[in-house]
Amino acid sequence: MKSTIKTPFLKWFFLPLVIIFTVSAGFFIYQLFIRITPRARRVITWIRNPQTHQDWSTEALSRCRESTPFLFPTAGYIGFLWDDSFRPGHRHQGIDIFTSESSGETPVYAAFDGYLTRLPDWKSSLIIRVPRDPLHPQNQIWLYYTHLADIEGKSYIVDDFPAGVSDLFVEEGTLLGFQGNFSGTIGKPVGVHLHFSIVMDDGNNTFLNELNIQNTLDPSLYFDLPLNGKTNHGVIPVCQNKDSSP
Ligand SMILES: [Zn+2]
């Protein structure tokens, strides 16, 4: 049977569509799987060989200056920053601190005095209410810690803070648990690290949804470190302005 559509018509009609589709698919795959930012490249370098980059690491329970509000909550390399992006449309709500040790070995401490809550279904997370934000004392804020469990979701949070505990006072420097690699999905681990974020209050004594960056605060001034992913271009976030020793 003879086709009623001429071949040149087919060619000029479909060719641009094929080109547009191919370019779009390529861009999508690049964004999703291939795009590696300099920061992501350094995280991979650190995970593969932390011993050669000890100078990237920050000490647990230290602070950059005497006046710095928060203690550094764990030892390691601050690999990802607040407002980094892991995929198109994503904005990271906290900082990720990677250890050089195995899952369950690196202690995590309270960065500031507050009241600890662990919801009944939280395996790897806890949140600490700080009634007076040290930078804006009229505001209440919440400090969120997560990935404190192993690949199967077995908690590394210390026994003092069982699931369901609510509004229990803890001093800064209190041991909370240990860095782990639980992603939230059993059997699909992340690199061993602590995710830490500062979450805003809803005005009714409850924390807002931590997954939305709009509900979190840039932690830079709380640690005196360049922790904003949008403005920190390539600087390893370690203390630059340490108070000089007497
Ligand atoms: Zn994170």
- DSSP codes of every residue in 113-178: -EEEE--TT-SS-EEEEESS-SSSTTS-EEEEEE--B-TT--B-S-TTS-TT--SEEE-TT-EEEE
pLDDT digits (tens, 9 = 90+) for 99-136: 999 999 999 999 999 999 999 999 999 999 999 999 99
Phi and psi at residue 39, to the nearest 5°: -65, -40
Global confidence as pTM = 0.85
Look at residue 135 and tell me if it is in a domain: yes
Answer whether residue 12 is part of any domain. Answer: no
Count of domains in the chain?
1
Section 155-163 average pLDDT: 98
Distance CA 74, CA 107 (A): 6
Model confidence pLDDT, tens digit, residues 142-158: 999 999 999 999 999 99
Look at residue 88 in the predicted model and tell me its pLDDT.
Answer: 87
Which residue range is the domain that position 176 belongs to?
A: 36-223
The pLDDT of residue 71 is 98
Give the CATH number for residue 170.
2.70.70.10
What is the identity of the amino acid at 178? Answer: F
Residue 110 domain-assigned? yes
Residue 19: inside a domain, yes or no? no
Residue at 108 is within a domain: yes
Residue 64 contacts residue 224 (beta carbons within 8 Å): yes
Query: Residue 74 falls within a domain, yes or no?
Result: yes
Q: How far is the CA of 84 from the centre of ligand 1 (A)?
A: 9
What's the mean pLDDT in 55-76? 97
Please list the alpha-helical segments (H only) found in 33-82. 38-48
The reply to whether 201 falls in a domain is: yes
How far is the centre of ligand 1, averaged over its atoms, from the C-alpha of 68 (Å)? 22
Distance from the alpha carbon of residue 94 to the mean position of ligand 1, in angstroms = 6
Query: b/e for 88-100, b at 16 or more Cβ within 10 A?
Result: eeeebbbbbbbbb
When pLDDT is averaged across residues 172-177 and rounded to a whole number, the result is 98
Which pLDDT score, from 0 to 100, does residue 245 have? Answer: 41
pLDDT for 150 equals 97
CA 168 to each of CA 85, 111, 113: distance values in angstroms, whole numbers, following the listed order: 34, 15, 11
Ligand 1 center–CA 211 separation, angstroms: 10
Task: Give the 3-state secondary structure of residue 1.
Answer: coil
Position 14 in a domain: no
